[in-house]
Structure 1
């Protein structure tokens, strides 16, 4: 461990070395202006041994080693209970940072909200199947000739942000991916939820009455949680990673509520380390030309993310002869020419 790393280790909750630990338990109380008091009604956290189901997520999380500044800003966001806005070119590891934090701190699978131009805040909080409830009510009347007794909670599903805000002792990790793609209004729509750490489900409020009982709601990840009184309010503010390719400017009101960091493109030594960790210690042997070609084209401005180098190196290592290397070089040329 370097002198800088040793100094950081004294206050870092997240180290970024791929070693699992319970450092989240040492996180000090939130600042007075970021303390939340949601009643913990559900299980503390999902099984921390469950890995993310997306292909390769676990191996990428374990192998990811962030730059010092990235680890520092990530810890600042965790301490301050603020979202971390991560900017950088595609393939620099922005989304992998979220998986690395969740893996290292044993916080369960990452909750994932992929952004498109049609993404709305409502969908990320919860979905109410009003049609399904009406159909269920009509069927109940036909069979029992009485009003339905089933809870409205059976027809409400919490989205990724809604699930992240459920009151727990340990935070969940939420990845809001490629925020650049959002509609122009979404960043402003998100402000109040990020500031207040809560949201209301009007359908539950109307049904709860004067003596609300906890209602069990489903989540997108297949689990269930308890919500009381129609309001979801966090206890431990979630660790929120918002990624951006730097293709647009966000409102100052959003930026003020985030900790910001930019991930630079990996250096030559860093790329070599990534290739060896993902493909094998001998992955670069005999592939110097391929590696140099990638660096030359990337430095000339070609849109070559790191995962494209991994694809090329995998092809080169799959065939010890010339065919694999030829296919790998062709892949890089195809990307450079804009055919992909």
Structure 2
């Protein structure tokens, strides 16, 4: 509605209506390019007494909204950066999404300080956001945190370690981050999923990784400067899947991985610096799926690795030397590898 500039009393009805929209639970405002002001009531009315979910999208001039204490889910996208300040003091808030705020420089600390029940927070496409406030440590109920496309964010706060309920952490397209804080992640003893993607300056992972005893899924993608992983991973006693994609400087797998007897899925793609799998990978006794692609310098796999009785899926693609080794092995030891039910060698369309 391109002509709308104000939302005010006419939207709520007559003055004598004490609770406008008494049953409304979800409200979306989308594509109001000239909306400048969303006014509250005249003071005698309780606005939206049951409203739980609010989505405000593509309202670039809107800088404020009424306080609606009942809100549990808020999504803000492509609005004026001051609109974020309007979400302070929402003590019932459980889910918050802040997306496409290129002019947002700082996330208000008061917003995080008062949202102590928050379980999910996503911050995306805030290209000028330079830091996260220390008040993030107050989000002790937070279970999911996603930070994506924040190009000027250079570090994560140490207060992350207080997020003891956090189960999922995603960091993507944050090109100025070069490392993860050691103390910042070591306290995340409930973390089950960690995903790091397209962080082009990331050169090292935190040694605090070894303390993530509940971690089940670890994914590292498109980090061209990452040359190693922390060696001591023996405490990752619940890790089930490890994916490493397009990390060309990575030269070896961490030795501590051999003690992770729960690993079921291992995926290595576009890591030309990785020339071999160490012999200790034979100890991955729970491994069910192994996928390797675009690792041109790899010439062979440990004999015991492909003979693991648990291995059901093997994929080798765009690795000429490794494909040749496999064909030779298949001729020699067909019986020892007959337990692998799905084998893909060569191009994705070719199944052996």
The structure with more radius of gyration: 2
Q: Which band: TM-score by shorter chain?
A: under 0.3
Q: Name the structure, 1 or 2, with higher relative contact order (CA <8 Å, separation 6+).
A: 1
TM-score (norm 2): 0.20
Normalized per residue, the structure richer in strand is 2
Higher helix share: 1
